[in-house]
Structure 1
Amino acid sequence: MDQKGNIKWGLWLFLLFNLAFDLQGQVSYGGSPIYKYELSPDLESCAKELHFAASQQQLKSLEQYSKGQALTFAHQYTVNYTPDNSGTWTTLEDGTKVWRLLISSPGAFTINLIFDRYRLPEGGKLFIYNTDYSDMIGAFTSENNMTSGVLPTAPVRGDEVVVEYQEPKDVPFHGELLIGAVNHDFLGFYDLGSLKYGIFGESGSCNEDISCYDADNQLDIRRSVVRMLVGGVDYCTGTMINNTNNDGTPYMITAAHCMKEDAAGSTTLLFFNYESPHCAVIDGSNLQTLGTSSQSITGGETKVLVDSLDIALLKMEERPPAYYRPYYAGWTLSSSPSAPFVSIHHPQGDVKKISTFSGELEASTYNFLSNSPYAQVDNFHWRVSEWTTGATERGSSGCPIFDANNLLVGTLSGGQAYCGNPINDYFTQFYKAWDKNTEENAHFKSWLDPQNLGAQSLEGLDPYADNPFVRISNVETGDDAIDSDVTVDGYLAGHNVMQATMFAEKFTGIKSAIIKGIYMMPCDYKYGSGQTVDVMVWQGSESPQTLLSKKEDISIGSLTKNKEVYLELDDPVEVTGSFFVGYEINYEGSPIDSFALYVSVADSKVNNTMWVYHSSTGWEKAADVYDNSMHYSLWLDVLAESVVYGDTQVVLSEEKELVLYHLPGVKDAIYLNSNQQFVDHVQVIDMGGRVLFTQPINKSGEEIEVTLNDIPAGVYILKIQLEDAWLNKKILVE
């Protein structure tokens, strides 16, 4: 059979692996459990088993709740588990003491815990993992000790979890641990997209993915919006917000009704960048892909909480690290903010969406739910009369609304809007909440203008703008993604008749960078495979050459279709010039075709970046292996810092050299002579790696105009996509 006969064009699949290192929650400090593959009889005999079953009536009743309430996804058990009254202790030969506790709640999609007391000595490590070790969080250490003494943890998949605490022989004090709550997830915290019961399973179809609305990542405010997990049981939306000191103090603004399970703020987790990583069409439809849940911070202190105004402000104990790429939104005290408006939110706890409103906000009175004990405050809210695009839903509560200058003007309290009837949503008026009350815990001014500068507006803040982390990708906006149905030949980048064993993605146009981690998007998997892979980073110009990093024997376990996984390297890797990231599949004694990732396939006017290795032929371009009329890119992105872009990544012959030039009197454009070469598109990228805009070209010519879209003066990279290569050129905008 023709080895190319079963290929379907679009985004293809390749075999890869389960990354148990895609940590589902807050900042943690590495390491691994000692007993990760062992459940002893002693541990099982001391297990704590809890029982809860959400009835159909209970689930149905949740559908009837109006906005103005947080979205509850879990049932909370109040418990009192400590190393003194629960679990088992073991002492290792080196004197390390290990405490383990098995907690079971049959039928739970996930389990999360709240430690009412958490205080570890230096050297102590805490892990939480499920019994097949397909999901694990930790290590939590003394670095996670909070002022409150409380530690909420992110959900771990499955209905059984093991808590493991390791304490070295010589410590200044014994660790203090008390589990006060076990939360049984009855909706599916990580898998709402796969549920089909009632309203649960997906947000309304009118809601647009932020990655499609802002395909070039120009909208900084999207990085300020976070998904909230409150008290281990509720979803809401919040916004990181700037203060006049511009010092990156981690303030988060939301609605007061979101905090009903955590008035103190100590059991609130914030998830950053939970969004579809790329705007892609899958299987001919707009089926969404889910972002990683690996970036979160935990625990805060409530600074403002006024139920009657529905306003809340938390100061988180942890600052989001640089690789989260956080942004602190700006704000305005204008009483007549400028249209148009956008609201960014997590409806139904879904990936980040955006709604738009082109009309004028109207001062209005929001009527609290009939069972609310709070009296309405007249004309304290903005009314969105009818959304231009999108709507809001439960889980959107607390989300921001931004004006035409991308400044926050309010937060969502509730309303009537949904996709079928997108009218009458109500947002607090930020300018009225600013100093309406005199008490410090009842207004924003004392916290967001701590030096009483009298600012009437404030721009947003990127706290790591001087050395930002950059997500580098070869996946093009709008690429199609399909599930291949390869019954004989196998996968393009996995087990197939070509008997290829290694696959890699090439990254070019960079002089130097430090790689921290890798993102990958699976589209299919088989649970329970014992297969392993090795993940590698190579230096090389024409093919993978010098091995820089290798992570061996990563096991395939439980993954989620269309949900991104993030692998953090053991140590950051410095690269100079072109580099490759890829993997080798180890088949010994295990099934094949256990996992698949998307591959972007396009026509010959897009450069090939995927490479395939065979023992008899070495490294080859995927286009040369499968079909040279098509070009391929793996859906595999790199997270890097200290990125320095090169001036060019290929050397053209003199007769093919591209020429950039200005025309007299034209200040908002530059021109390109392509010397008869076809130009697919161009991108303008700032020196921090952010794509400012993409301009389709689709032609050759001596006077190709590239508009500069009123970008500020400075030095930028012009990325030029040719027929079979691409170039980087530095440009100066004056």
Structure 2
Amino acid sequence: MKKIILALLLFCSFYTTFPQSWSQSGSCQVNVNDPSYLNHLAGRQGIISATVKLGIDGECTGTIVNRNTSNSELGFYILTAKHCINGLDFNETHTVYFNYQSPDANSASTPSSNRGIRDIQSQALIENGYEYRHQTLLRLVADFTWGDMALIEILTPVPPHFNLTYSGWNPSRFNGSILPPILPSPIVAIHHPRGDIKKISGVTEVSWLETPIATGCYTITTIIDVLFGWIWGNSVSTSVICNYVDNPWLSVPFYQYGVVENGSSGSGIFIISNQVFGVLSGGLGTCNVPILEFYGKLHSNYSNQSIKNTLNPNNNVWVDLFGMSERKITQYENLNLPGSEGVSGYFFPANHYQSENKIVLCASNNISTTQPITIFTGADYEFVAGNTITLGPGFIAEPGSNFIARIGSLGFLKNESYLEQDILSKLNTINLPQNKVFNMDKYLPEDENFVQLQVFDPYPNPNEGVFSFKILSNNKCKLKIEMLSVGGQSFYNDILLIDNTLTVYVNIPNIPKGLYILKLTGDRTLINKKIIIK
């Protein structure tokens, strides 16, 4: 069997890398957001988001994979084919392309700013380029010729507004044999054929191509790892010895729709649970004859210590057996946007690559912008933080965009029933005009004569209705103060006249216990503070 597989691979050869060319893949290809293939009913959006195009001496495809660790230590790791990184200089900066796809079934729906005709980060919606182009150093974690597989790390963190999902993965051998015919398909491949926008191909079954000796070896070593792996901390798998008797490739006999082509190399193949279990190596398929493609098995190379301990650093034996589900970080502890120095601060409309346009970025504590950010016309972004939102110099929301900054609470962020979302929207929403700077303690245009305020947190908090706080101002001004319940009921109101410094004393007898909003409003000023009455 091994000789037959090797002969086929030598005849087929590896798929070569391929320079990008928008809309030049085969006519049978299916866009990832084509609803007629019911992909969304299978929850495919996560693995669509996790699939990226690699600009490595041509073009390949890779999958951002989840790891068994906390959000803060997750990092960004790409599973791809070894032949995609042959000759790669890891001391140089390389490019990874995210969200390079049509928002629907029609390739022409892809905006010109995301058609990649020129290798640039599009700065305006009329330029040809990439909207989500990420430049970074890469680190090689491991690569294997036997199975044509590689794991590399992105060293410059991917900006949160790229809307990334980490793909799940499954190292089990019991996931890719014959499966019942679930329409449109229980198994899908997601890839960038000929460097084109992202496509999806459907498969009803794969051939595992495992030798009986390897099957027996994996069975015995798995039992050993489960029963005795705790002795060595599960940091090493005895299944690694089975690599010497296993065939590390599986084959796809036939695609139900779509096909892989040059440029698809390194792309993942996913089971119905949206876990990647193989990486494309090469084959014979074309649109006319969509048959016989070979994928390196994750199962065969996972037991190598460099792969296993990277994807499962906590050495959980059940993760070794069943893998990881996909992950999307919906709430960060703190956010400094757009991210690391030099990353893209262009916030394009999300409906350029998916049906949903609104992007919400949440932080338990604070959100701040530390580099210039432009929210382009048509984009819809919302920042939600538990404590503060500070938008620094260079933050621009173009006319026709929608931007909301909102202070919530941990309870609100984790459980929407804790606070009424529509009430918070009324209390804490500001639509940002062009070329303005917004801070939760001040809202000012670029005008030196405009009033700048700093409002200190109330003390004590929690309290029994008696508290004080201090306000600093660079000019005389007038503010209205209100104490509102989360249901919008007013328990206190007054007018404050401020001349540089004012200490405000509040006494509200017999106020019911609960969470309240202390609201200060003035000329182009909106400030909200949370008060807990105990």
Q: TM-score, normalised by structure 1?
A: 0.37
More strand per residue: 1 or 2? 1
